[in-house]
Chains A and B, each alone.
Chain A
Amino acid sequence: DADVTQTPRNRITKTGKRIMLECSQTKGHDRMYWYRQDPGLGLRLIYYSFDVKDINKGEISDGYSVSRQAQAKFSLSLESAIPNQTALYFCATSARREGMNEQFFGPGTRLTVL
């Protein structure tokens, strides 16, 4: 079984709809992250959380919100989706180890906003 799972894997929605992307992990990591990937732009950080009570904005948090429901679950919401939020979204986790924060990625969610 995959250590980091994302649901749904693909989603097509319309402008103005509320969308939630979910991420679950079985790695026992404290830290979780949400990224979006656009062609030619690499990965950009949306939000990250270092434990259940900790939420931090990343480079491109506008238009997004997150919820850390438990150590193992971190969801990303688009309150009112717009077409330029069409992208590939990745969740990632890492352990709290000083200087050794390699990240483990989920398979991604391909979101299309029409």
Chain B
Amino acid sequence: SQQGEEDPQALSIQEGENATMNCSYKTSINNLQWYRQNSGRGLVHLILIRSNEREKHSGRLRVTLDTSKKSSSLLITASRAADTASYFCATDQAGTALIFGKGTTLSVSS
């Protein structure tokens, strides 16, 4: 069964707007990761946040983690058309394999 569930399933915004995606999970984790997938291609790692961290930044990306609520959010600021992709959260429970959610499809129009 899948650990992470992203919300919303799909998101459409205009260039320049911010995009926020959420991920909820069920059990305790070592870390949570976000990946991006352009249509039909392999996933690309974006950012990792450890269970003892609450917020992390990388360029236009901001990730938060609330372990008490078992949830994470990914914020992309000043979105560009090139950010159009699917975004997946993945949880590392015990240093074994990651468990991926079903993803959020982001569409950024110019």
* Residues of A71-114 whose CB lies within 8 A of B: 88, 90, 92, 98-108, 110
Binds A, one of B12-20, B58-66, B93-101: B93-101
Q: A33-B97, A42-B101, A45-B97 in contact; A101/B92 too (CB < 8 A)?
A: yes
Contact assessment for B103 and A42 in the assembled complex, using a CB-CB cutoff below 8 Å:
yes
A28–B42 CA distance with the chains assembled, in angstroms: 19
Q: Which residues of B contact A (CB under 8 A)?
A: 1-2, 30-31, 33, 35, 40-45, 48, 50, 88, 90, 92, 95-103
| CB proximity to B under 8 Å, residues A1-52 | 4, 33, 35, 40-45, 48
Distance of A111 from chain B, by nearest CB (Å): 13
- The residue on A at minimum CB distance from B48 is A102
Q: Are A42 and B45 in contact (CB under 8 A)?
A: no
Known: A43-B43, A88-B40, A106-B42. A59 touches B1 (CB 8 A): yes
Interface residues of A, Cβ cutoff 8 Å to B: 4, 33, 35, 40-45, 48, 56, 58-59, 88, 90, 92, 98-108, 110
Q: Give the Cβ gap from A90 to chain B, nearest Cβ, in Å.
A: 6
Q: A99-B30, A102-B48 are in contact. Are A41 and B42 (CB under 8 A)?
A: no
Q: Would A103 and B102 count as touching, CB distance under 8 A?
A: no
Assembled-state Cα–Cα distance A43/B102 (Å) = 7
B102 touches A41 (CB 8 A): yes
Q: Decide if B41 touches A40 in the complex (CB within 8 Å).
A: no
Which of A42, A98, A105 is close to B42, meaning CB atoms less than 8 Å apart?
A105
